[in-house]
Amino acid sequence: MEQLSQHGAFGGWQRFYRHDSTEIGLPMKFALFLPPEPKALLVYLAGLTCTEETFTMKAGAQQAAAELGLALLMPDTSPRGANAPGEADAWDFGVGAGFYLDATQEPWAKHWRMESYLIEELLPLVQKEFGLPADRTGIFGHSMGGHGALTLALRHPGVFRSLSAFAPICAPMQCPWGVKAFSGYLGEDRDTWPAHDASALMKTQQSVPYPAGILIDQGLNDKFLVEQLHPQHFEEACAAVGQPLTLRRQEGYDHGYYFIASFVDDHLKHHAEQLLKP
């Protein structure tokens, strides 16, 4: 693991790293904010076209994270440098659009293994290297990353103790972004898709996965709300299984980082309340 840069921030350190990933088979980058006294780890998954730098530089999360004792891990959104045919032909598929799953279709299956990379490789690596407690780890994300946060939290019970999202893709099987990604990465057999759809996954829960509650913020001026995001489907799924959900519909806010910066402190507090309980 190579440290690319380090910057003092609010008594802690904002660092950027690169390492050779065995799951991806390529070098991967991530950002890590370490507060003065790290007590827990919070993973943030970014959206389409983003990198490890996007949330790190735009959200303004470090001050509250430092005060709360939350380390922040920001991975990249996809493999880079695979030179797969067509990997950079579209902004919503391929490079910058890994959708936080393991592809099963060629030419994506070899390198587009974001789920295994995050769960099996990056998270244990960071927890071990920086002495961060595995039993105090939360996850949140935005848009495609919100989809990733919800699905990974539901697919890997016990890995994350807290969960939230900004404007997540809540029902990817029912929106153009999701249908395009699932068709390309998972193939045309739609029977494989529900395992990566947060609303479908929630409906299959045999017990309440996050009894202390899930937080979602959604801007009502978000141009993607009606066609792509469908928070009402996740809301209905949570109600069906008794999962506590706070879905805040925010007037006047769009899909961008001014929206995220406006409410990120609320999300950090939401996670701290759950992660720092004895």
Residue 53: CB atoms within 10 Å:
14
* Contacts with 198 (C-beta within 8 Å, 6 or more apart), sequence order: 147, 150, 151, 154, 168, 169, 170, 171, 172, 234, 237
- The pair of three-digit structure tokens given for residue 195, joined into one six-digit string: 């395992």
Distance between CA atoms of residues 86 and 89, nearest Å: 5
Q: In whole angstroms, what is the distance from residue 170 CA to residue 150 CA?
A: 8
> Are 65 and 42 spatial neighbours (Cβ–Cβ below 8 Å)?
yes
d(CA 147, CA 132): 25
Could you tell me if 148 and 45 are in contact, meaning their C-beta atoms sit under 8 angstroms apart? yes
SS3 content of the chain, % helix, strand, coil (to 5): 35, 25, 40
Residues forming the active site: 143, 222, 255
- Yes or no: say if 102 and 113 are a contact pair by the CB < 8 Å rule: yes
- Torsion angle of alpha carbons 142, 259, 88, 115, nearest 10°? -10
Backbone angles phi, psi at 231, to 5 degrees: -65, -25
Phi/psi of residue 242, nearest 5 degrees: 80, 20
Integer Cα distance of 124 and 66 in angstroms: 22
